[in-house]
Amino acid sequence: MMFLKPLFFIAMLTLTLAFSNASAADIDLSDSKVYVQDEEWFLDLIAHYEFSDDVLEALKNGVPITIDISLQLMPDDAWFWQAREVQRNIRLEIRYFTLSELYQVRNLGSGAEVSFVSRSAALETLGQVLGIFIIKQSKLAAGRHYTLSVKAKLDIDVLPVPLRPAAWLSSDWRMSSGWVEWSIDG
């Protein structure tokens, strides 16, 4: 019977962490746009990140925060198991260097990086990925309708190992935009 008290305490703590939402965390992609230029489709991804206090504290303490952006282009009449015309991930990272007091935003795919003195400038740049090539118009079947789906999320699985359990249990770390869709005509 003695072991039930600690077990009950751990269960209650886990439930409290899992369902607490002290500060909202969200990603908004509603200002993003898709356009055609020179017979090629592009995406200007404009993301507004509202990081929770826990995420901002981790960032301030030098923990790199990774954002995973998923893009998928599928014909409207395709089944979910069929291959996508385009499927790509863009991974961005923001981190703070305490010694130099600089924030760095880095595209993990291309290696491009930019440093900032202020967190707000770094977050603004993290949220602007412009001119993402999607597909050439000639690769799309004429008269066929397609859907471009985009989702951005904070990648918990690349956090330092000691931080992952708390991040998995806390809603403050589960940030996602949900899927945002645009119609593209072939």
DSSP string, 75-132: ETT--TTSPPSEEEEEEEEEEEETTTTEEEEEETTT--EEEESSHHHHHHHHTEEEEE
Q: Residue 83: its pLDDT value, please?
A: 75
Flag whether 136 is in a domain: yes
Residue 145: which of 81, 88, 85, 69 has the closest Cα? 85
pTM of the model: 0.82
Specify the DSSP element, H or E, that contains 60: helix 53-60
Flag whether 111 is in a domain: no
Mean pLDDT (the chain, rounded): 87
Flag whether 127 is in a domain: yes
Q: Rounded to an integer, what distance in angstroms lies between the CA atom of residue 105 and that of residue 120? A: 12
Flag whether 31 is in a domain: yes
Q: Residue 23: its pLDDT value, please?
A: 41
User: pLDDT tens digits for 87-145?
Assistant: 999 999 999 999 999 999 999 999 999 999 999 999 999 999 999 999 999 999 999 99
Flag whether 37 is in a domain: yes
Flag whether 169 is in a domain: yes
User: pLDDT tens digits for 47-62?
Assistant: 999 999 999 999 999 9
Residue 142, SS3?
Answer: coil
Flag whether 15 is in a domain: no
Q: Total structural domains in the chain?
A: 1
Confidence of residue 10 (pLDDT cuts 50, 70, 90): very low
Flag whether 176 is in a domain: yes
User: pLDDT tens digits for 95-108?
Assistant: 999 999 999 999 99
Residue 86's domain comprises: 27-90+122-185
Here the CATH number for the domain that contains residue 38 is 2.60.40.10
Q: Is 6's pLDDT higher than 50?
A: no
